[in-house]
Structure formats: structure tokens, C-alpha cells
Structure 1
Amino acid sequence: MEHLIRVTAEVPLENEEEVRALITRCALGALEREQVDFAAFVDVTIVDDENIRALNAEYREKDAVTDVLSFPMYEFLNGAPQEDLEPDPESDRVMLGDMILNYERARQQAAEFGHSAARECGFLTVHSVLHLLGFDHERDETDRALMRGEEEAILAALGLTRESV
């Protein structure tokens, strides 16, 4: 399947090409694991604390810095579409939604958790793509366990386990 992951950095990054490649690889890995059998499109924007705080306040009514935000275009439930999906006429792909990643926060959390920025950035990317596909760790304990299991399986397949980086 010809998926498109568009990554735009609104903040300067020392290793921008590396970060963009990592995000793309992780998003594609999540779509493959979840067997997305249609051409999908995900738009990723890398921002800083200030920008993500403003978006979090505006869209979630939480005036706080966060690590990643997901804005799905369609209703899914644990990977299954709950409505008809229509490809965008220009790209001929289904727009799954937008992901806003706070790379600054990802680096801080990586240091706190004792693993690499790549592992944390990969985790946040996979986490967000799963949200776009209707997985929700806040729905109930069963869904939380399902989402966590999918995250770990995808990251392991990508070689981004906690132990390896």
C-alpha cells in the first residue's frame, strides 16, 4: 500500500532529516502492523512547547504542554473504520488525520525515562497513529491494554525497544 506520511518541522532541529525519517518509518510501521489496506495519508507537524500548549488549550481545553496531539479525520474503533472512508481527490489517499509532535518534550521525556530520543519519538509517533485509527487508552482498561500491546509490538518490530536504545 502506498501510504504518505508528510512531516513538517515548524521548529529548528539539529538532525531534522533523521527525525523526519524516524517518524515516517514509525508511522508506516504502525499502519502496516494494523493492516491498513487502503492508501492512507498522515500529516505530521513538529512543534515546540509554546505551540503545542496553545493547540492543547484550544482543542482539548487543557492549558498545558503535552508531548503529542492526534486529530483524527474519521471515526475508527481499534483499527476498524466506523464510517465510509473517502480518498482525497488530489492524492487518492484517505486522510487519517493530523499528528502534532513536540520534539522538545520527547527529548526531555527520553532523558527522564532513561532511553533514547529516537525511542521516545518513535513511541509518540506510534501512539498517535494508533489514536488516528481509533485506539484509546483512556476508554477502559481493556482498550488500554490493547493499545499498549499494539504499541510495544510495533516498536519491537521497528527495533525500538526500551532495552535496545
Structure 2
Amino acid sequence: MTFNIELEYEKPLEFDYEALAKQVAEEALEFEGCPYETEINLVLTGEEEIQAANREFRDIDRVTDVLSFPMLEYDTPGDFSYAEEDDSCFHPDTGELMLGDIMICIPRMQEQAVSYGHGEVREFGFLIAHSMLHLMGYDHMTPEEAEVMEGKQAKILENLGITR
């Protein structure tokens, strides 16, 4: 797995965010049975930057905790079978499946960790798990979709011992 991380946020985090992001991403991929090596891009940013991206890409002019930009379109969430038929899904140099981009607002992540009563490691891990599921075609637009996604997020974090 290639995990490209761009750090736009200036203040240091007090945990190994790179190792945690990779660990959660790998668990999510294994949990969903992804048969390919993958490429994922992660941007850690501030409030102004994520608000600008949210406005540009979703027409929502406010700060959010995380944005996910899947590179693939799925007929069924978590079904990677179609990728074999479409070479454009794979990086031409590495052969890795290009899943997409994740953008996390560090100040919002830190605020949520406090307000939910758990640590930054748990909140960061949750946001990675949540975004990985989006990159694999899951969504939470209906109560049924939300229930599926929430169950998968919880199990991924539980498997890693990342609890509240």
C-alpha cells in the first residue's frame, strides 16, 4: 500500500498519525477483502482549507471534520470485481488500485475528541476508518446505509483495539 500524506497543518500532533492512518487503512482494506495493493492520499489540514474544499466540491460553505474523494465508482459498495475490467483504476507505474483522497481537518478532529470524551487517537482512527469506507463505495445517506457503515467502522476499530 502506498499512503501519501501531505501535512498542511502546522501544529504537531502528539501521536504517530502516519502509522495510525496506515494501520486503520490496512485493517479497513482487509475487512472489506480488497484483493489489490492500493494507493491512498491523505491531507491533514486546517479549518479554512477544508471549508474551501467543502465549498468547492460539495457546495457546502462550512468547516467539516473530514472529506473523502473516491476515485472509483462501485455498483455495490466493497465490490472490487469491476476493477479488473478497467485499467484506468490502477496507477500506471505501480499497478496499485487508486482508491482516492482523504482530507482531515485537524482542529475539528481535536475538538471532536474532547466533545465525544475520547482521545485524539480514537477520533483520528475513526475518521480514517469512516473515509476508507467512503473510498470503497459506502455512504450514509439513508438510515440503512448509516447502520451498515457505522457497524463496519466500529468493527474495524474494535479489531485494532481502538476504543473510546
Normalized against structure 2, the TM-score is what? 0.91
Q: CA 1:80/1:18 → structure 2, altered by over 3 Å: closer, same or farther? A: same
Aligned pair in 2 of structure 1 residues 82, 54: CA closer, same or farther (>3 Å)? farther
How far does residue 81 in structure 1 lie from its aligned partner after superposition? Answer: 3.6
SS in 2 for 1:80: coil
Greater relative contact order, per chain length (Cα 8 Å cut-off, separation 6+): 2
Match of 1:161 among 157, 160, 163: 163
Measure the CA separation in 2 of the matches of 1:69 and 1:125: 10
Change (3 A) 1:49 1:128: same
> Residue in 2 aligned with 1:74?
72
**Aligned match of 1:34:** 32
Local SS of the residue matching 2:39? strand
Which among 73, 96, 99 is matched to residue 99 of structure 2?
A: 96
The equivalent position to 1:114 in structure 2, one of 72, 94, 117, is 117
Distance in 2 of aligned mates of 1:145 and 1:134: 15
Unpaired runs of 5+ residues, structure 1, are none
Name the Cα RMSD after superposition: 1.5
CA distance in 2, matches of 1:127, 1:67: 11
**Offset, 1:82:** 7.5
Q: Distance in 1 between matches of 2:156 and 2:73?
A: 22
Q: SS state of the match for residue 26, structure 2?
A: helix
Contact kept, 8 Å, 2:34 with 2:80, in 1: the verdict is no
TM-score by length of 1: 0.90
AA partner of residue 137 (structure 1):
H
Distance 1:17 1:112 in 2: 19
What secondary structure does 2:113 align onto? Answer: helix
Tell me the residue number matched to 2:47: 49
Using the TM superposition, give the Cα deviation of residue 92 of structure 1 relative to its aligned residue in structure 2, in angstroms.
1.2
- Map 1:130-145 → 2, pairs under 5 A: 130-138=133-141, 140-145=142-147
Structure 2 gap ranges (5+): none
Amino acid at match of 1:10: E
Q: Is the 8 A contact 2:28 2:156 kept in 1?
A: yes
- Counterpart residue number, 1:6: 4
